Each structure stands twice: as structure tokens, then as C-alpha cells.
A and B are shown apart, each in its own frame.
Chain A
Amino acid sequence: MTIEVRNLVKKFGSFAALDGVDLKVNDGELLALLGPSGSGKTTLLRIIAGLDWPDSGEVAFNGEDALAQGARERHVGFVFQHYALFRHMSVFENVAFGLRVQPRAVRKDEATIRRRVKELLDLVQLDWLADRYPSQLSGGQRQRIALARALAIEPRILLLDEPFGALDAKVRKELRKWLRSLHHEIHVTSIFVTHDQEEALEVANRVVVMDKGRIEQIGSPDEVYETPATAFVHGFIGESVELAVQVEGGVIRLGDRQLNLAADGLASGASKLFVRRHDMLVGPPGSGAFEGAVQHVRNFGPVQRTEVALSGGETIEIDAPRDRELRAGDTIGLEPRRYRIFANA
């Protein structure tokens, strides 16, 4: 099932939750909607599910108008952030719910329903919990039951709202891997919303980065990380050194200093320079585009996180490899291996 979203606008009062969103989701894809809170990602998901309606714009499933259908008719599996399990029903009945409420004409018989629920519980590896109630389950188990319940209706599309948001770090990691392999197995077009970049990059085939009701970039995890399309994406994904610079006729200035960096094809004006923390190479004083004094060093796994006061006064944090030990007070030169410059909007 493909999903096509055209020029979607949704306002809550004067706040534009979605401000002209276009998106095409391919069949069988696992897509992440990534953005800070308030970026409109959940609103987009809810509109696709039929839980909200846009003020204007189009949503089409396989080319057919989805907005003319209510949530009941869309056959969309939705997994809620807080699972929304029916707490008065056993796990089994929760999963069976979607099958039991089908119109009489198409409703399966009891034996088929039982078999199907059993299959789904096997799929999420929780068949042994069938008779428990939601309050007796752990967070991760509830999440998986909510997923099994959504899959019971054989959805054309699977939507997950912050699927791992309410779980603790360890369970979250396990479930990520599991969701990936599950998607591999069932191959239904899926979209999940997250504010956690690591989650988006690790799980999804493609990532949609959103901010303030707009899509900033759509691309594979590699693309959004390696070649961010906008200053927002660069700042939001991965950890970067961010410096306010001035571009004038092919020359880049940081404060009153001219940086020895190529600025071919850049428009003049106030801009932002981004360098990944680990892309700042440390050399002897005078060896790179920047020079500064080491303020503080913390050893951090494979890297030493180093606070450097640049000679112009700005303080930046870089991740230097541990092959050469840095000490507070050292003067060093810094050369960005790669960098990107975005003109200020």
C-alpha cells in the first residue's frame, strides 16, 4: 500500500501543526517521522489514521482518496503511545477485539478467531500471556500486545505513535531490533513517530525529519546524517559544532577572523557553519582553520570529549580520538574534515 500526502494543512487555533506537508510512502516501507515535540509528526500520523482531519490537503492510499473514509473504514492499524489496551479484557480478548467487532457478514467463526489470535500472540512471542490482564504486564509486553491487536485486523498500513517512548532504555533497545525484524517478516507499509534520532536512524528504511509543521528532509538514515539538507536537520541529528559565521564574496568570517575554508558557491550573508564533533581534527597550533585552548577533557568511551575555547571567544565541544591525549591548557589547532554551511533563513 502506498500513501500519498499532498499539501496537508492543520491548524489548532492560530498554531499551525501542519503547514503544507507533502509526502509519498512506498509500499512495504518502514518510515520514521522524526522531529522535536510540536513539530507536527503525531498530527500527521493521526490524520493518516483518520483520528484527525486536515483543514486542507489530500491523503490517498494506493491513489484512492482516504479522507472520504472514517477511521473505521480505513483498515489502518494504530499503536498508541500509551498502548490504550482495554484494561477490562484479557490479553487474548484485546487482540481478538478487532475480529469480534467486524460486521456479522464478514465476521469469522470463533475457531478461526482463536487460531488467528494465537498466531498473532506467537508472532509477538507472548502466547503465554493470553489469559493475563494488561495491568499484569510490563511496559514492553503491553507494547507488543498493542501491536498484535493492531495487526489482528490485517491492516493495510501500520502506524505507531512513539512506540518506545514510555519504555526504559534497555527494553527500548531490544524492542527496536524486534520491530525491525517483525517488519521484515510481515512487510506491511509502516510509519512510526519518534523524537529519538537514534531510534529513527536504527529502525527505519527512510527518515522524514519534521520541524514546525514542515518537512525538512526525507531520506535514508545515511542521507539525513551525512548530507543534512537544512541547518535544522544538521543541528537535530547527530552532535555538531555550530558556529555563526558571515559569508562575503567567497570568504567565511567568524567574528573578525577569516577562516581558511573553501566557500565556493555560497550565497553572501549571515550563515551557520556545522561540523560533526568527531570531524574536528586536532593538530599543533596554527595547523588548521581554528585555534583554541583546551578547557576541559572528559574521557568518553572511544573519544575524549574536549571543551575548546576558540581564540575568538566561542567555546565548542569536540570528540577527539584517544590516540593523542589532550590536557586542559593545551593550545591546539583544529581542522574540520568535513563541514557544511547554511545561509540563515
Chain B
Amino acid sequence: MTMQIAEPVSLSQSAAKARAHAAAARNNLRTEPKAVRIAIIALAIVFLSVFIVLPLVLVFAQAFSKGILAYLAALAEPEALAAIKLTLVVATISVSLNLIFGLVAAWAIAKFEFTGKTFLITLIDLPFSVSPVISGLVFVLLFGAQGYFGGWLRDHDIQILFAVPGIALATTFVTFPFVARALIPLMQEQGTQEEEAAISLGASGLQTFFRVTLPNIKWGVLYGVLLCNARAMGEFGAVSVVSGHIRGETNTMPLLVEILYNEYQFVAAFAIASLLAMLALITLIAKTILERHLDEGHDINDD
């Protein structure tokens, strides 16, 4: 068998020159050789696929492994319905509370100068870096039978621990930073000029807040509420410590996932888990959309 092989020598001088130029140009100062590029991209994709995509896919695969009817039946269990309802109630309470706390805290930090401000900012971040189990534990220490307020609560027949108030409190604590974190940079950036203008025009404090401040930060508020809600519905560690795991009464969705999983009711466990995973995915999509609004918001605040 014979083959025609192009002789490199026969290349014209200008072609050789062009090739040398191209080779030098490829040796760009701000990028790596192609092999390195491909290796890095491949590593990143494999890592993200194994550690993030696969678990996510698995949740849905397991939930529907016995068919859609089994899936729906699992969700229709009274225990499941009770958990969903409790989760919604708790999330509503803690999101509302944190909306108010977050607004006020962000307002205070962004618009005023005072001593201890740095400390306050650190304080707001604290629940992020404390183990959720410890967050639950502190409420046991406060309201438990041996806790500081335990005796008083028992005398007055008020149930906090192992009941909805305890779960709501622990969730509020854990999700506290979200709204404030979302708003502080936004409000700092916007400064105080608009508020000062409103006040100089005769608006009262509340009028200024509702007519000037709030419209400026509405996307930020929504962003904070969104993340706060996602964490509130999904919180496990802190709630696990304070809930007491009373079936049908103090089990939130994540807790029910644990119980069902430990009882080998995999379809049921993953059915509930799939709802929570959906919540996470919807949250991420909404977050992406909101981030776009927030980026635009720098220019067009009044639509």
C-alpha cells in the first residue's frame, strides 16, 4: 500500500511563517495549553456531576422507582400531609419574623453609624457558622426541663420544646442572617440621600420607609425571603434537637425523611425528599432570576 505524505519541506516560505506566527499566537499570555484546558474542564464537570448532579437525580429516581402511583400514595399518607403542613406553618412564622428583624437590622446597619457596628454584623452572621445542632441545643438549655425557663414554663403550662413554638424559634434562629445579609450591601450602596430628600420634603419616617426605602430594596427583600424560606423548610439539625419527633405532630418534612429512611420506606422517604429537592431547584431558578433583577436594579430602580 502506498500513501501520499505531504512533505513539510515543500511548504512555501510564507506558509511556514504563518504557521510560526500562529504557534506564537497560541502561546497566549492569559490561557493554558489546550490539553490543560480540557483536563481542567473535565475535572470540574466530573466532580460536579458526581457530587451534585448524581445525588439530585438519584432522589427523583428513587422517589419514582415504584411508579407514580406509589409516589402519590406516599405523599397522601396522613403523616406526610401533617409534615408538609407543619413545615409550611413553621416556614411562614420564621420567614415573617426574620423579614421584620432583617429589615430593621439592615436599616440600622446601613443607614446609621454607631459603636459596635462591626460586632453587630458579626453577630448577624453567627448562625451561619454555628452548627445547627448547637443552635437547637441552646433552646433546649433555655426551655428544657432543666433549662433556665423550664420551671417557669412548666408552672404556667406552656409548651415550647417538642412543640411548634420551639421548632419555629430554632428555625428562626438558624435562618436569621438571610434577609439581613441580602439587604445590608444593597442599602449601604443606596446610601441615605433619597431618604434625606424625602424627609426634607416633609415625609414622616414611616412614609419615607414605605415610599422610598422599600421600593428601592424590594428585589433584595424578595431575594432574602427566598433563601430564608428554602433554609427554613429544609432545616434539619436544629429542628431535630427541639422537635421531639412526635409522629404526625412535630415532624417537619426533613425529619419525616429521616424517620421513613431509617424504617427502610425508601419510596416514601424519597418522595418527601423529592418535594424538598424541587423546592431547592425552584429556589435556585428564582434566585438566578432575582439576581438578574438585582444587577439591573442598579440602573433602573423605578419600573
Contacts and interface: CB of A to CB of B under 8 A. Distances in A.
A53 B29 contact: no
A284 interface: no
Contacts of A71: 29
A65 B29 contact: no
B9 interface: no
Interface in B1-31: 17, 20-21, 23-25, 27, 29
A50 B28 CA distance: 9
22 contacts: A50-B24, A51-B29, A53-B21, A53-B24, A53-B25, A65-B17, A65-B20, A67-B20, A67-B21, A67-B24, A67-B25, A68-B17, A68-B20, A68-B21, A68-B23, A68-B24, A69-B24, A70-B24, A70-B29, A71-B29, A72-B27, A72-B29
Size category, A interface: 10 to 19
A53 B27 CA distance: 11
Interface in A52-79: 53, 65, 67-72
Nearest to B21: A67
Contacts of B20: 65, 67-68
Nearest to B28: A70
Interface in A69-120: 69-72
B240 to A, nearest CB: 44
Interface string B22-48: 011101010000000000000000000
A72 B29 CA distance: 8
Interface size class for chain B? under 10
A18 to B, nearest CB: 15
Nearest to B24: A70
B203 to A, nearest CB: 41
B31 to A, nearest CB: 12
A238 B25 CA distance: 39
Nearest to B29: A71
Nearest to B30: A51
A284 B140 CA distance: 101
A67 B14 CA distance: 13
A68 B24 CA distance: 6
Contacts of B25: 53, 67
Nearest to A71: B29
Nearest to A49: B29
Given A51-B29, A71-B29, 8 more contacts: A50-B24, A53-B25, A67-B24, A68-B20, A70-B24, A70-B27, A70-B29, A72-B29
Contacts of A51: 29
Nearest to A54: B21
A70 B20 CA distance: 10
A67 B20 CA distance: 8
Residue from B20, B24, B25, B29 whose CB has the most chain A CB atoms within 10 Å: B24
Nearest to B19: A68
Contacts of A50: 24
Nearest to A74: B24
Contacts of A67: 20-21, 24-25
Nearest to A52: B25
B57 to A, nearest CB: 40
A56 to B, nearest CB: 9
Nearest to B27: A70
Interface in A215-273: none
Contacts of B24: 50, 53, 67-70
A344 B112 CA distance: 62
A304 B174 CA distance: 73
A50 B27 CA distance: 10
A75 to B, nearest CB: 14
Contacts of B29: 51, 70-72
Contacts of A70: 24, 27, 29
A68 B20 CA distance: 5
Q: Which of A67, A68, A69 has the most CB of B within 10 A?
A: A68
- Of A65, A70, A71, A72, chain B has the most CB atoms within 10 Å of the CB of A70
Contacts of B23: 68
Contacts of A53: 21, 24-25
Interface string A25-65: 00000000000000000000000001101000000000001
Nearest to B16: A68
Interface in A316-340: none
A72 B17 CA distance: 19
Contacts of A65: 17, 20
Nearest to B23: A68
A68 to B, nearest CB: 4
B144 to A, nearest CB: 51
A286 B25 CA distance: 65
Contacts of A69: 24
A66 to B, nearest CB: 9
A253 B29 CA distance: 56
Nearest 6 CB-CB pairings of A with B: A53-B25, A68-B20, A70-B27, A67-B21, A70-B24, A68-B24
A114 B11 CA distance: 48
A71 B30 CA distance: 11
A79 to B, nearest CB: 16
A51 B27 CA distance: 10
Interface string A189-230: 000000000000000000000000000000000000000000
A70 B23 CA distance: 9
Interface in B228-261: none
Nearest to B25: A53
A50 B29 CA distance: 9
A122 to B, nearest CB: 30
Nearest to A59: B21
A68 B21 CA distance: 5
Nearest to A73: B24
Interface string B218-234: 00000000000000000
Contacts of A72: 27, 29
A65 B27 CA distance: 16
